[in-house]
Amino acid sequence: MEKPRSIVILTGAGISAESGIDTFRDAGGLWEQHRVEDVATPEGFARDPELVLGFYDMRRAALANVRPNAAHEALARLDAEFSGELLIVTQNVDDLHERAGARRVLHMHGELKSALCSSCEMRSPWDAPMSADEAGARPPCPVCQAPSLRPDVVWFGEMPYQMERIYRAIRKADLFVSIGTSGAVYPAAGFVRDARDLGARALELNLERSEGSHWFHESRQGRAGELVPEWVE
């Protein structure tokens, strides 16, 4: 294939696995410790806010102990060197793409290091616990001071962020690359079909075949830390 002019890259938990961040569905993954219905839905948050806030506090705090891996670093090099259109759409809520130096990153499911206020609906950078302190007080929203912060992540049943911007990029893409995702959750899992229908070439780089592998022109199995630098070079 001649050099692509416009690339969309979709990443999932598998790209951060070698950095030591649990994936969702692999054995011992995040969901195994908590039922997804309990911690990644608005209903779960309404039912037990402290359980959900604690789940995200733990994951946010863990970011201090992990570093980007060779896959994040390869994508950051691509971002710096590729003169065409490039968008890294990540389902991940960690900050490893940015810490590797990537700039054209879109977090469609939000970010651990951001807080959303249920009162004023403003989002603020956040890197502290959100659950109540020993006096039972929740931290105030940096904008309106209300004690109504929630994790700025997209839960099941909630609309992912910047979908129009993502579909605009997919419409222009002549290459769609999916890295480290099980293809289990929509609308992200459907992007490969949209890209193919619009004429893009579709490549999957994943540890094992995923639910969507059959939609890709090419699917390579292996660790992202090896496959991504190989592909970027």
For the annotated binding site for NAD(+), the residues are 12-31, 91-94, 180-182, 206-208, 224
Binding ligand BV8 by CB under 6 A: which of 8, 13, 53, 130?
A: 13
Distances (CA, A) of 114 to 110, 141, 161: 8, 11, 13
Distances (CA, A) of 2 to 153, 178, 194, 201: 38, 19, 21, 11
Residue 154 within binding range of ligand BV8, rule CB under 6 A? yes
Compare residues 106 and 207 and give the one whose CB is closer to ligand BV8. Answer: 207
Residue 182 within binding range of ligand BV8, rule CB under 6 A? yes
Contacts by residues 204-208 (CB-CB < 8 Å, ≥ 24 positions apart):
204/177, 204/178, 204/179, 205/177, 205/178, 205/179, 205/180, 205/231, 206/14, 206/178, 206/179, 206/180, 206/181, 207/14, 207/17, 207/180
Which residue in 216, 211, 214 sits closest to 178, CA to CA?
216
Which of 72, 97, 107, 109 does the annotation list as catalytic? Answer: 109
Taking contact as CB under 6 A, which single stretch among the options 2-10, 123-131, 142-150, 177-185 is the one that binds ligand BV8?
Answer: 177-185
Residue 17 within binding range of ligand BV8, rule CB under 6 A? yes
Residue 192 DSSP SS3 = helix
Binding ligand BV8 by CB under 6 A: which of 181, 202, 203, 212?
A: 181
Quote the distance between the C-alpha of residue 222 and its chain's center. 20
Number of residues that bind ligand BV8 (CB under 6 A): 36
34 included as an active-site residue: no
Compare residues 84 and 187 and give the one whose CB is closer to ligand BV8. Answer: 187
Residue nearest to ligand BV8 (CB): 14
Q: Identify the bridge partners of residue 114 per DSSP, sorted by sequence position.
A: 125
Residue 207 within binding range of ligand BV8, rule CB under 6 A? yes
Angle at 191 between CA 181 and CA 52, to 5 degrees: 50
Q: Which residues are annotated as a binding site?
A: 12-31, 56, 59, 91-94, 117, 120, 141, 144, 180-182, 206-208, 224
- Site residues, ligand BV8 (CB under 6 A): 12-14, 17-18, 23-26, 29, 40, 91, 93, 109, 153-160, 180-182, 184-188, 206-208, 210, 223-224
Write out the catalytic residue numbers: 109
